[in-house]
Structure 1
Amino acid sequence: MAELYSLEFLCADVKGAEKLFREKVGFTTVATNGENVVLKQNKAILVLKPATCDSERDILQKSGTICNNVVFKVSQLQAAYDKATRAKARVIHQPQPLTDVGGTVNTFTIASPFPNVTHTVVSTTDYNGVYLPGYQQCANSIDTPSGISFVDHIAYACETGTSDDIVKWYEDKLGFAKFKLGADSDDLSVDLSDGPGGALKLLAMEYWRCSEKGVRSGGENDVKIVLVESLPNSGVSNQVSEFLDNNNGPGVQHVAFHTKDVVSTVTTLKKQGLTTIPIPLEYYSLLDKKSIVDQVSCDTKSLQENGVLLDSEFDDSSKRYLMQVFSTALFKKSTFFIEFIQRCGATGFGAGNITALFKALELQKASGQ
């Protein structure tokens, strides 16, 4: 069993990033080791780190602030390490215990399929400290939570033609598997070829607790990953190609935070300075959106003011839908941004749920904002 434990960011300005996540996203600073800062909101944990060597300073010079380490938590660390090494994962740090007064955490780190992203795997079964050994708890903060519950999914922007190999990497090294993009479809990829941003390919994966039996995992902190790439000869620039240019290569494009009330969450954060991608009023009168709007206990004006996108997963017995909001880029370079998602009965990862991102970004791009 694997869960997402934390997301680590290599920051050009740790204090500035801390201020941003606290004031504009509602996180609270909970721990520090003197250099790194740990922020938390419910089950979502972010770690902000300064550059400590020339190679990290070079990354910041070329890419700006990035999410450079996705940390997974497992109950059987040795089994996870054996699986990764049998599949010839490149080991950065071999298994080692980290200890302080809170107990012991066992950990190892491997390279990911992305040049500037690593994966640390930890087992915290014998630890009751604030984060990891070496971190001290910070004084209680007066920060106001924004309603974020946990990380719903992580999205990577990939080079054209690489997503299938990346899927295989996660399958072989970490036991991930593809899963349905939509509740009514077995499609594992979606081509968006009818918009101004050209054709895009998307693949979705998540960790399967019993992958040998094909049993899909459940629970809030299971790891879900979306991969997106431009299709060959798409002909025009889109948000993926622009991310690759600005980021100096592939990497974490965005992180989606789950919330039980997306309108309330975003209303609060916009008052604190967060900016979101604007959605034209006409969007809510589209035939496939109107039926969802009719179910939402919120007027169209509030939906538009908060940039809420809608997607449905309807069948004969139930009507399930999703509500999403996307921020503009958080840091100096136009790369990383965040998503807020509210799942109203929808448990799958619908194709419309994914394509909403690209529709929204292309609307922003077309309007010049």
Structure 2
Amino acid sequence: MTAQSIEYVELYTENRKPTIEHFVSSFGFTQTAESVATDRHSTMLCHGDVRLMVTSGEAVAAYLEEHGDGIADIAFGCDDVAATLDTARAAGARTLTAADGPPAVSGFGAVRHTLLPRSAPADRRLPAGPAWIPTPNPGPLPPWRRRIERLDHVAVCLEQGTLQDSVRRYTEGFGLSRYSSEQIEVGDQAMRSTVVRSATGLITFTILEPDPVKGSGQLDGFLARNRGAGVQHLAFLVDDIVLAVRDFEDRGVEFLRTPDAYYEMLADRLIDLRGQTEELRATNVLADRDEWGYLLQLFSRSPHERNTLFYELIQRRGAQGFGTANIKALYEAVDRARTAEEPVLHAQDGAAQ
């Protein structure tokens, strides 16, 4: 009666070919299968254990007009699909099942969850509809196309006042556990955050909402652009973030720039990383730590027209957190840089975007 894995995420886009090209040529994904119908065209892309389905066509036009490019489906692999469907509905999820498709239920905003049997072969853990045509195996992949290991987490942005009910639906309906909760305050902005995770560790959602008193400019901005709740970013776990940033940036991925003042403060904040400061500065990589270890992370600029979705690279050296301290550190660095009259991005365009 639990969701155990994310089988794939489905991205709706108005520009399927350029979007696929971006993931293949810049992020190193490989096309593995394709499905064509009269009203939709879907392509499955893979990198490591990440499966990303890119879909366009008349069937998704209404979604795109309302929300722009974005994640519309996060498919869960379940130990018992029928039982998970029952518990999800009991927790408040709506049934969205098509007559010829696998069970699907509402998640948050316009995002749904297709429910698939975790024990089924990979070729059966795909949406129903026209047959999926496998793409010929490209053979051995170069190192830069093997940087991403799996989907580390999905960042979800909700309307103010809906966080607790959403967390309840994921814990009661899908068997996820509450991992952590915190209030994040940066200057005159604030947000609330709760992390929920499956027992397998293969599903992790960081769920955010604006603070009801202070508000949060960057979350409010996302909600306005997306016209409601949705996936703010996908975080890809990588083996070596410095190499990954260099590889992907050379091939067209645009990452956010970090002010020099951040690295001046980093040497004092994380003494053990002093020897890597210049390497991190050269690639704009951010660093944080928790009681278990360190993490390194960097955020991309959104490649989508409405700026409704962006991507994160994250490397974990034991750390189990999500770089919360970087939000505050970036804010302080920006303030220091402004004092020095150095033009930089706002802190909200960094770790929190």
Q: Please report the TM-score for the alignment, with normalisation by the length of structure 1.
A: 0.81
Aligned to 1:320: 293
Q: CA deviation at 1:42?
A: 1.2
CA contact (8 A) 1:167 1:177 kept: no
Aligned to 2:303: 330
Distance in 2 (CA, whole Å) between partners of 1:344 and 1:306 is: 18
CA contact (8 A) 1:277 1:360 kept: no
CA contact (8 A) 1:110 1:118 kept: yes
Aligned pairs for 1:181-220 within 5 A: 188-192=181-185, 194-195=186-187, 198-208=189-199, 217-218=200-201
Which structure 1 segments of 5+ residues have no match? 99-106, 181-187, 209-216
Aligned match for 1:258, one of 230, 233, 237: 237
Aligned pairs for 1:122-201 within 5 A: 122-127=116-121, 129=123, 132=126, 134-141=131-138, 144=142, 145-180=145-180, 188-192=181-185, 194-195=186-187, 198-201=189-192
Q: CA deviation at 1:172?
A: 2.1
Q: CA deviation at 1:200?
A: 1.3
Aligned to 2:94: 90
SS at structure 1 position matched to 2:346: helix
C-alpha change, 1:16 and 1:81, in structure 2 (3 Å) is same
Aligned to 2:280: 303
Q: Deviations over 1:204-233 (max 9, x none)?
A: 11123xxxxxxxx44xxx100001121123
Aligned match for 1:248, one of 213, 222, 227: 227
Q: Is 1:38 the counterpart of 2:44 in the alignment? A: yes
Q: CA deviation at 1:359?
A: 5.8
Q: CA deviation at 1:75?
A: 2.6
Alpha-carbon RMSD: 2.6
C-alpha change, 1:12 and 1:248, in structure 2 (3 Å) is same
CA contact (8 A) 1:92 1:109 kept: yes
CA contact (8 A) 1:257 1:339 kept: yes
CA contact (8 A) 2:48 2:146 kept: no
C-alpha change, 1:292 and 1:338, in structure 2 (3 Å) is farther
CA contact (8 A) 2:218 2:348 kept: no
Aligned to 2:340: none
For structure 1, which segment, 78-87 or 6-15, has the greater mean C-alpha deviation from structure 2 after superposition? Answer: 78-87
CA contact (8 A) 2:117 2:125 kept: no
CA contact (8 A) 2:237 2:313 kept: yes
Q: Please report the TM-score for the alignment, with normalisation by the length of structure 2.
A: 0.84
Q: Is 1:280 the counterpart of 2:259 in the alignment? A: yes
Question: How many positions carry a matched residue from both structures?
Answer: 326
Q: Is 1:113 the counterpart of 2:108 in the alignment? A: yes
CA contact (8 A) 1:157 1:250 kept: yes
Aligned to 1:291: 271
Distance in 2 (CA, whole Å) between partners of 1:130 and 1:41 is: 19
Aligned pairs for 1:99-110 within 5 A: 107-110=102-105
CA contact (8 A) 1:90 1:111 kept: yes
SS at structure 1 position matched to 2:123: coil
Aligned match for 1:68, one of 58, 69, 72: 72
SS at structure 2 position matched to 1:20: helix
Distance in 2 (CA, whole Å) between partners of 1:367 and 1:281 is: 16
**What percent of counterpart residues are identical?**
25
